Amino acid sequence: MINVACPIIGERERRLVNDVLNSRILASGKYVSQFEQSFADYCGAKFGIANANGTTSIHTALLMFGVKPGDKVITTPFTFIATANSILFCGAKPIFVDIDPKTFNIDPIKLEETLKKEKNVKAAVIVHLYGLTCNMDAIVKLKKKYKFKLVEDACQSHGAEFKNKKAGSFGNAAAFSFYATKNMMTGEGGIVLTNDAKADKYGRQIINHGREGRSTHTVLGYNFRLTNLAAAIGIAQLEQLESWIEKRIANAKKYNEAFKDLEFLQTPYIPENCRHVFHQYTVRISSKERESFMKHLADKGVGSGVYYPCVIYKQPLYKKLGYKSGLCKEAEKAAMEVASLPVHPSLLAAEVDEIIKVVKSYKK
């Protein structure tokens, strides 16, 4: 089976992990600090706060900029549930805004419609889904006009760019995940980026029991720390990220060319001035065809996945909170039509050719 994801672990990762093991400083230490600064520099941010995972990163970012119980926070329903759950963790209320059907990202036009209707919106968590940035010109303009805090959920978009500026450098804060299947990984892990020195100091307290100094705790904090072991893997992965991204882009270009004339399948849309890093290569196919298409792939030895088959507000938890179906029709339609193919840098040229052959052999 050609898997839809395949983490890469090389000699550099192994050597750095062994360095940590030999040092016996397994929890937070110099590798964490090095990784924080290196990743912040890569994305064009001043500060990086490494922590446990992407979810804790979003949660921390919201707390850093004052999101509290009762606040309204806008986000997309077409993403992993952790994005909206992080809003709930703060005691705030998620306000869902529909997506652009071409990009799968939050629609700036519908975002402004919501901002006009919903007064006193504290923040927005926008998601750069599948490795493609949102329309940041439009969103930054709305941020200035309506005075909300902007958090970028860039958990799927390490190295993605909008007009040559990297994801994670536009908002008040940004959150990244280093889960095992991401474009770069630490097994589990995350990071918050910001350019705000005061928020950075507070964020470091949030992830470390509210500490100020060794034994003084001045705010409510959590144990969201990243280990030296995970950071060591991250250092090695970051060194290779650009080469891996180029392989993902090259694989996606081959797919786009091969699939461009297929009537049953729509290839990913890439706006001008965007660098899509293809965390997922996601196509659209009729909801009536998706199950049989994916079965055809599996029967021929090609893995695939659906990210995401259910919009967040239709999950049982959110139904209990009072959310109803029909809030975001484009997102609901996309959830029934998307399917992702293997695009990762571990694919051999022969495997890419085989995937193309199998997809093109599908009969409606």
Q: Which residues of the chain have pLDDT under 50?
A: none
The angle, 0 to 180 degrees and rounded to 10, between the axes of the packed helices 228-259 and 30-43 is 30
> Which residues 6+ apart lie within 8 Å of 348 measured at CB?
none
Task: Please name the helix (run of DSSP H) or strand (run of DSSP E) that holds residue 19, with its range, or none.
Answer: helix 11-23
Per-residue confidence (pLDDT) for residue 363, from 0 to 100: 94
Cα separation of 281 and 325, whole Å?
27
Specify whether the CB–CB gap between 242 and 183 falls below 8 A. no
Tokens of 104: 């799968």
Strands (E), the chain: 47-51, 72-75, 93-96, 121-127, 149-153, 161-162, 165-166, 173-177, 190-194, 265-266, 274-275, 281-285, 338-341
- What pLDDT score does 221 carry? 97
Two tokens, residue 299? 């029967």
So what's the pLDDT on residue 350? 98
What was the pLDDT predicted at 364? Answer: 85
Q: What are phi and psi of 97, to 5 degrees?
A: -120, 140
The reported pLDDT for the residue numbered 214 is 87
In angstroms, how far is CA 117 from the centroid of its own chain? 28
pTM score above 0.95? yes
* pLDDT at position 311: 98
Within 104-165, residue ranges assigned H as helices are 108-117, 136-146
* Model pLDDT, residue 279: 98
The CA distance from 112 to 341, in Å, is 33
Dist CA 144 CA 112 (whole Å): 12
H helical segments located in 100-227: 108-117, 136-146, 197-206
